[in-house]
């Protein structure tokens, strides 16, 4: 088959299409184990119902022409036969569903339509009866098409990954199906090709477009040691990738599985409407019967007119628009979120996120970068800042401590050449000692220096610590050379995110195990409203519970690992940087796949916009149907108008309103 590099080797590999599966990605669909695509129909699913609708519409139009324009040209029964054929062909699915609902003693919308159309034929209004069935079938088709368009995101996610991978085996390369690649094998990804499986770059450098996973609009540079994900697009470079996960455990496949599951779960509003519909439909049937019987019994209306009004009430009372208003909107919201690199694991979480009043943040790795950086260098008399950096980095280059790595990185960024250090010794828990340029130096905390020497730098150390910095002292036994202040600095977008949340009316809280001084300094710089410092991991859940009781619905943002209890306790648990993190994806209700806080603001606005459209759709559906129902009872609305405007037209309106979420 054709490989991505243009060569032809091997035997064609059957896709899901060829093996009968429902997903375009792979043959595993045929085995029923594919995490996505099961609910998505084949691309041409619409052709048969569209043909049926076209035929029934032609029959309806022909009958209307004969009845209205050429009444004497054909036998009188001909238009009625054509009307009946149009109703049966166009409404075949509706009739089947109605029969099943009656047998199950659970009348639904199809029962309402069938009763209305049948009654219209019985009173001699065959044209209107056929119109009810044909127009209703058109509305159902368009609603299903809209839902399929929204749900299609699952299949399109999986389709991002190539079916085959070029793998180094023996002395050459072999192109195989992605499911035949073993963990630990090396995949070859040439320029312009897609990464076939999750893995780690072992050779080569390139930029990779990760928009499908993280929503990032700018390609990310990759070099040996960096993670790459299935379905992402390699740029201009050549990469060799060690496969770390089989396809069905890849980040892409798991995202698709969660999106598919999320689309199946009901939101509280959906659940309420479903319960309401079970009571509503029988009530409408009883109400329509009363509209027909009471005026006849009291002699207020002739039987045909009373029955006609009752049938019109049945049609307008069909809760299609109400029933689809919430699920189509929620699925559209989930799809829009997935496109921007936000994985929402249920429609209920969209609704909950829209009502959030407080956002609690873990500090390390969430509000901050998660690693210390040099922020301040204070040289003492006779020395420069570069002297302090050079001496400290020369010794710390031999250490693996996180602070040591930060000091060495800072010297490298300043282009400082490091002298050779000899006599190196690590003083556990205190610092390091060694000889640099013929002089023995100490690098570490206060305890490394004699008490009488500490007085020389104590004031400067306390001043730095008051800003939240960790202080490393550089000096000899006789004199201090300088101080280095290090901090786990806030993410570049953290302050803007907090400000944007405040503008949305959200209160922010930092929940951290760090000491109060450091926490207060960082919180003040970011504009955080409240700080809970010195909190042990197991106690974070108690803090979240207390905040929820005090302020209402709360979202907890963390890394999805040590914050798991707090994420579970929150109204909505949100994990940062889920791409490649199994624990983050499994733990949280919502995962920000890209390691960027500003996605949180986008998420909040999307959730609120989604919920706003749900409210719009429900309000419009209820108010319009209620108004037309009143007009139907007093005889000011025809069956044509009821089905055309009050049912099909209204259903299309709420669907189009919902699809605004995915059109952006």
pLDDT digits (tens, 9 = 90+) for 650-661: 877 888 888 888
For the segment 472-505, what is each residue's pLDDT rounded down to a tens digit?
999 988 888 999 999 888 899 999 999 999 999 9
Burial 646-656, CB ≥16 within 10 A → b, else e = bbbebbbbbbe
Q: Under a CB-based contact definition with an 8 Å cutoff, are residues 195 and 230 in contact?
A: yes
d(CA 502, CA 470): 30
Place of tokens 């477009």: 209
Number of CB atoms found within 10 A of residue 93's CB: 14
- Which tops the pLDDT comparison, 79 or 76? 79
Give the whole-angstrom CA distance, residue 512 versus residue 366. Answer: 10
Q: In this structure, are strands 186-189 and 164-169 parallel, antiparallel, or unpaired?
A: antiparallel
Structure tokens at 264: 């199946």
Question: What is the pLDDT at residue 333?
Answer: 87
pLDDT number for residue 18 = 33
More confident residue, 579 or 456: 456
Q: pLDDT digit string (tens) for 431-457?
A: 899 999 999 999 998 888 887 778 888
Average pLDDT over residues 292-317: 88
Quickly state the pLDDT bin for 523 (edges 50, 70, 90).
Answer: very high
- The answer to whether 22 and 37 are in contact (CB under 8 A) is yes
Q: How far apart are CA 650 and CA 320, in angstroms?
A: 9
pLDDT score for 14: 31
How far, in Å, CA of 376 to CA of 142, rounded? 63
d(C-alpha 293, C-alpha 489), whole Å: 76
Which of these is catalytic: 362, 488, 589, 602?
362
Token output for 212: 């499908």
> Which tens digits make up the pLDDT trace of 98-157?
899 889 888 777 887 788 788 878 878 788 788 878 877 876 776 676 566 555 555 555
Q: Between residues 11 and 271, which one has the greater pLDDT?
A: 271
The answer to whether the CB of 330 falls within 8 A of the CB of 662 is no
Share of the chain above pLDDT 70, in %: 84
Is the pLDDT at 622 greater than 80, yes or no? yes
For 173, list phi and psi in degrees, rounded to 5. -115, 150
Q: What is the pTM of this model?
A: 0.69
Distance between CA atoms of 143 and 136, rounded to whole angstroms? 11
Average pLDDT over residues 38-43: 50
User: What is the pLDDT confidence band of residue 267, given thresholds at 50, 70 and 90?
Assistant: low
Report, as an integer, the average pLDDT of 525-536: 90
Which secondary structure element, helix H or strand E, spans residue 98, and what is its range? Answer: helix 92-103
Output the pLDDT for position 488: 84
pLDDT value of position 337: 86
Q: Could you read off the pLDDT of 153-202 as tens digits, one per residue?
A: 555 555 667 889 999 998 889 999 998 999 999 999 999 999 999 999 99
- pLDDT score for 220: 83
Q: CA gyration radius for the chain?
A: 34
Write down the pLDDT at residue 33: 39
Query: In angstroms, rounded to a whole number, what is the distance separating the alpha carbons of residues 637 and 186?
Result: 70
Least confident of 61-70, 521-530, 604-613: 61-70
Q: How far is CA 653 from CA 53, 274, 341, 498, in A?
A: 20, 20, 29, 37
**Who wins on pLDDT, 408 or 9?**
408
CA 138/CA 648 separation, integer angstroms: 8
In order, the DSSP letters of 445-457 are -GGGS-HHHHTTT
User: Distance between CA atoms of 226 and 190, rounded to whole angstroms?
Assistant: 17
CA distance 392 to 404: 9
pLDDT band at 260 (very low <50, low <70, confident <90, very high): low
Element (H, E) at 623: helix 598-633
Average pLDDT rounded to a whole number, residues 52-78: 86
Q: What is the pLDDT of residues 354-400, one digit of tens each?
A: 999 999 998 888 898 878 899 999 999 889 999 999 999 999 998 88
Q: For residue 157, which of 94, 250, 280, 295 has the smallest C-alpha distance?
A: 250
Is the pLDDT confidence value at 537 over 80? no
Percentage, residues of the chain above pLDDT 90 = 32
Total count of residues recorded for the chain = 664
**Would you call 362 a catalytic residue per the annotation?**
yes
Give the per-residue pLDDT at 149.
59
pLDDT at 21 over 70: no
Distance CA 473, CA 461 (A): 8
Lowest-pLDDT range, 26-30, 244-248, 255-259, 273-277? 26-30
Residue 585 in contact with residue 261, Cβ under 8 Å? no
DSSP per residue over 219-244, as a string? -EEE-TT-EE-TTPEE-SS-EEEEE-
**Collapsed DSSP state (helix, strand, coil) of residue 188:** strand
Under the banding of pLDDT at 50, 70 and 90, the label for residue 265 is low
Contact in structure between 121 and 77 (CB atoms under 8 Å): no
How far lies 544's CA from each of 361, 522, 567, in Å?
A: 10, 20, 9
Question: Is the per-residue pLDDT at 2 higher than 60?
Answer: no
Average pLDDT of the chain?
82
Q: Rounded CA gap, 109 and 147, in Å?
A: 18
What DSSP state is assigned to residue 199?
Answer: E
- 392-406 pLDDT tens trace: 999 999 888 888 999
What band does 7 get if pLDDT is binned at 50, 70 and 90?
very low
Q: Whose CA is closest to 94, among 130, 44, 41?
A: 130
Domains of the chain: 162-249 (2.70.150.10), 339-364+493-604 (3.40.50.1000), 373-487 (3.40.1110.10)
What gap in Å lies between CA 522 and CA 368, rounded to an integer?
A: 9
Q: Look at residue 505 in the predicted model and tell me its pLDDT.
A: 95
CA dist., res. 56 & res. 632, Å (int): 26
Where is 443: in which H helix or E strand? strand 439-444
Residue 227's φ and ψ, nearest 5 degrees, are -85, 145
Higher per-residue pLDDT: 646 or 95: 95
**Helical spans, DSSP H, in 152-233:** 153-159, 211-214
Residue 269 to residue 275: CA distance in whole angstroms: 10
| CB environment 449-470: b (16+ within 10 A), e (fewer) | beeebeeebeebbeebbebbbb
């Amino acid at each position: 088959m054709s490989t991505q590099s243009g060569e032809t080797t091997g035997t064609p590999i059957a896709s899901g299409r060829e093996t009968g599966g429902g997903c375009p990605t792979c043959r595993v669909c045929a085995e029923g184990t594919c995490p996505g695509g099961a609910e998505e129909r084949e691309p041409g699913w619409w052709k048969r119902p569209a043909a049926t609708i076209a035929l029934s519409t032609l029959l309806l139009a022909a009958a209307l022409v004969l009845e209205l324009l050429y009444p004497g040209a054909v036998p009188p029964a001909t238009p009625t036969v054509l009307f009946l054929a149009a109703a049966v062909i166009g409404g075949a699915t509706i009739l089947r569903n109605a029969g099943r609902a009656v047998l199950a003693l659970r009348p639904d919308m199809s029962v309402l339509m069938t009763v209305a159309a049948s009654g219209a034929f019985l009173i001699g209004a065959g044209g209107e009866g056929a119109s009810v069935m044909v127009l209703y079938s058109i509305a159902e088709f368009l609603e299903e098409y809209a839902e399929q368009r929204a749900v299609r995101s699952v299949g399109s996610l999986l389709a991002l990954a190539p079916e085959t991978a070029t793998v180094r085996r023996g002395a050459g390369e072999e192109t195989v199906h992605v499911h035949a690649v073993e963990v630990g094998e090396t995949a070859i990804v040439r320029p312009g090709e897609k990464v076939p499986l999750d893995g780690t770059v072992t050779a080569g450098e390139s930029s990779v477009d990760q928009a499908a996973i993280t929503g990032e609009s700018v390609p990310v540079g990759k070099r040996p040691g960096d993670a790459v994900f299935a379905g992402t697009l390699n740029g201009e470079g050549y990469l060799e990738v060690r496969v770390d996960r089989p396809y069905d455990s890849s980040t892409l496949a798991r995202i698709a599985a969660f999106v598919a599951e999320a689309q199946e779960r009901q939101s509280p509003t959906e659940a309420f409407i479903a319960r309401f519909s079970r009571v509503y439909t029988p009530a409408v049937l009883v109400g329509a019967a009363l509209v027909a019987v009471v005026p006849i019994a009291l002699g207020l209306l002739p039987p045909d007119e009373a029955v006609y009004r009752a049938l019109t009430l049945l049609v307008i009372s069909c809760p299609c628009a109400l029933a689809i208003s919430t699920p189509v909107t929620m699925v559209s919201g989930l799809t829009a979120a997935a496109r921007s690199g936000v994985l929402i694991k249920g429609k209920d979480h969209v609704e909950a996120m829209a009502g959030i009043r407080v956002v609690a943040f873990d500090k390390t790795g969430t509000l901050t970068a998660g690693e210390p950086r040099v922020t301040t260098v204070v040289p003492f008399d006779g020395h420069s800042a570069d002297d302090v950096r050079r001496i400290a980095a020369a010794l710390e280059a031999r250490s693996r401590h996180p602070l040591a790595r930060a000091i060495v990185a800072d010297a490298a960024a300043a282009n400082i050449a490091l002298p050779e250090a000899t006599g190196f010794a690590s003083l556990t828990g205190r610092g390091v000692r060694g000889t640099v340029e013929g002089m023995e130096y100490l690098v570490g905390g206060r305890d490394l220096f004699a008490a009488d020497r500490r007085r020389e730098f104590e004031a400067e150390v306390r001043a730095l610590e008051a800003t939240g910095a960790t202080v490393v002292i550089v000096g000899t036994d006789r004199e201090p050379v300088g101080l280095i202040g290090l901090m786990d600095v806030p993410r570049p977008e953290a302050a803007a995110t907090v400000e944007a949340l405040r503008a949305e009316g959200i209160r922010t809280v930092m929940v951290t195990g760090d000491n109060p001084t450091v926490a207060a300094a960082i919180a003040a710089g970011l504009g955080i409203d409240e700080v809970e410092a010195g909190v042990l991991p197991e106690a974070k859940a108690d803090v979240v519970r207390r905040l929820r009781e005090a302020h209402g619905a709360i979202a907890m943002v963390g890394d999805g690992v040590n914050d798991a209890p707090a994420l579970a306790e929150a109204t909505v648990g949100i994990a940062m940087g889920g791409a490649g993190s199994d624990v983050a994806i499994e733990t949280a209700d919502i995962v920000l796949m890209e390691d960027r806080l500003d996605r949180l603001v986008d998420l909040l606005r999307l959730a609120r916009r989604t919920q706003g459209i749900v409210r719009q759709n429900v309000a419009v559906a209820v108010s319009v149907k209620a108004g037309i129902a009143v007009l139907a009872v007093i005889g000011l609305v025809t069956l044509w108008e009821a089905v055309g405007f009050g049912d099909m037209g209204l259903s299309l309106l709420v669907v189009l309103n919902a699809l605004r979420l995915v059109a952006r």
